[in-house]
Amino acid sequence: MSATAAFTQIFLATLVLTTLLRIWLGLRQIRHVCAHRGQVPPRFADGISLEEHHKAADYTMTKAHLSLLEVLLGMFMVLAFTQGGLLQYCADQMNGLFPGGGHVRGLGLFALVGLIGLVVDLPFALYRTFVLEARFGFNKTTPGLFVSDLIKQVLLAVLLGGPLLLAVLWLMERMGAHWWFWVWLFWLGFNLLMLALYPTLIAPLFNRFTPLTDEALKARIEALLQRCGFRARGLFVMDGSKRSAHGNAYFTGFGAAKRIVFFDTLLEHLTPAEVEAVLAHELGHFKHRHLWKRLGAMAVLGLGFLWLLGQLMSRDWFFAGLGVSQQDTAMALLLFSLVLPVFSFPLSPLFSALSRRHEYQADAYAVAHASGADLSTALVKLYRDNASTLTPDPIHSLFYDSHPPASLRIARLSAAE
């Protein structure tokens, strides 16, 4: 058997097995949530009614059914782009438009594939926003706002992604055999730049941020920041309610650009003590340097993946095995980004476990600097208001959930308190 045929078989087998695994996990989630729909877990009986528990179960199962369709469509799209010849067809069209080749042709290829992906994903985005989220009372997005957001996202992809991709393609061609190291350095620098610019330049394109005006709450938060030794550029309220009824809080940026942001929906439903406890949890992430640890893990993985691409792009079987005949840097980068999720999905439990460990650490920090009881009641309200299931399937959670299951998290908080 030739190397090309062997790689094709490995790719197809991995694609099918990964898809079957994701479908199996989705079906497990649906069955498990449905089986526990009839009764609120005893620990939550005082804070969540049976009707609210039913809503969370139905919301979770509806999202899971939609995800199953997306998984199947994703598999067929990968097959269409590779073995179906769609990617090579796109390359042929760009060769006709830009016969001189060069980086413009590579940018055009990425743009065309991105456009196809946008068109395919658009019906799901519309259904999720205007049918699924609306059915459960969460959607606040108007059609005009949806279109406006979509236009802004496309423009940002062009204005930021275009130069980024152009620089990567240039480095891949000009930096010799070790181009992957220089691309990695550039990629790290770009990510740090985006972290610095996002709070003040990008986020305000989509939401309005106003200073927190509740003086009593502001004084309480500033006292917490002083206890924790945290300096922030400001406390802001984001108009998340114009898109969704879901609530959250986060801090963003680094260095002098750090700012604390509360969704207006969060402030509407939590008491000042609960807001303080939620913020203490977010400060726990900062104090434990979770952002930098995750960036470090991403950097190591990114370096490894770029090195792997450097080895694959010189192999004829890598291109031919994925159904394309054109062999250049743009095609190699596009193919690699297309098939990497297929091979890397089995690693999902490792990343989810790391994230859940960070959540437990942030909870412990919150208990030490605020009230564990207030954090528990805040979390129960967030589970209720966001219709988050209290009974996820353990195996599904192992793969997908960045936060610990509600029962385990509340139990830990109760023990710590």
Is 285 annotated in a binding site? The answer is: yes
Average per-residue pLDDT for the chain: 90
Whether 276 sits among the annotated catalytic residues: the reply is: no
Domain-ending residue, one of 185, 206, 227: 206
For the cut 80, the answer to whether the pLDDT of residue 259 exceeds it is: no
Question: 342 forms bridges with which residues in the sheet?
Answer: none
pLDDT 10s digits, 28-46: 999 999 999 999 998 898 8
pLDDT 10s digits, 183-220: 999 999 999 888 888 888 888 889 888 888 888 888 88
Nearest-angstrom CA–CA distance, 301 and 294: 11
pLDDT score of 33: 96
The pairing of strands 259-263 and 235-238 is parallel
Q: Is residue 228 part of a domain?
A: yes
Residues 287 and 222 reside in one and the same domain: yes
| CA-to-CA separations, 86 to 46, 149, 324, in angstroms, rounded | 55, 28, 9
Residue 209 DSSP one-character state: E
Read off the tokens for 304. Answer: 């490894």
Domain-ending residue, one of 151, 179, 206: 206
Read off the tokens for 389. Answer: 């299931």
Residue written as token pair 């439903």: 269
In the three-class reduction of DSSP (H, G, I as helix; E, B as strand; rest coil), residue 260 is classed as strand
Q: What's the pTM?
A: 0.90
Nearest-angstrom CA–CA distance, 136 and 140: 11
Position with higher pLDDT, 247 vs 298: 298
pLDDT 10s digits, 352-389: 999 999 999 999 999 998 888 999 999 999 899 889 99
Q: Is residue 305 part of a domain?
A: no
Whether 363 sits among the annotated catalytic residues: the reply is: yes
For the cut 80, the answer to whether the pLDDT of residue 1 exceeds it is: no
Is 244 within 8 Å of 146 (Cβ atoms)? no
For the cut 70, the answer to whether the pLDDT of residue 225 exceeds it is: yes
For the cut 60, the answer to whether the pLDDT of residue 256 exceeds it is: no
- Give me the domain span that covers residue 261: 210-291+351-416
In sign, the C-alpha dihedral spanning 268, 271, 274, 280 is positive
Domain-ending residue, one of 184, 206, 228: 206
Section 162-175 average pLDDT: 93
Is 32 annotated in a binding site? The answer is: no
Indicate which residue of 363, 374, 385, 393 is catalytic: 363
Indicate which residue of 274, 282, 374, 393 is catalytic: 282
Residues 356 and 257 reside in one and the same domain: yes
Q: How many domains does the chain have?
A: 2
Is 246 annotated in a binding site? The answer is: no
Residue 241 DSSP one-character state: G
pLDDT score of 242: 83
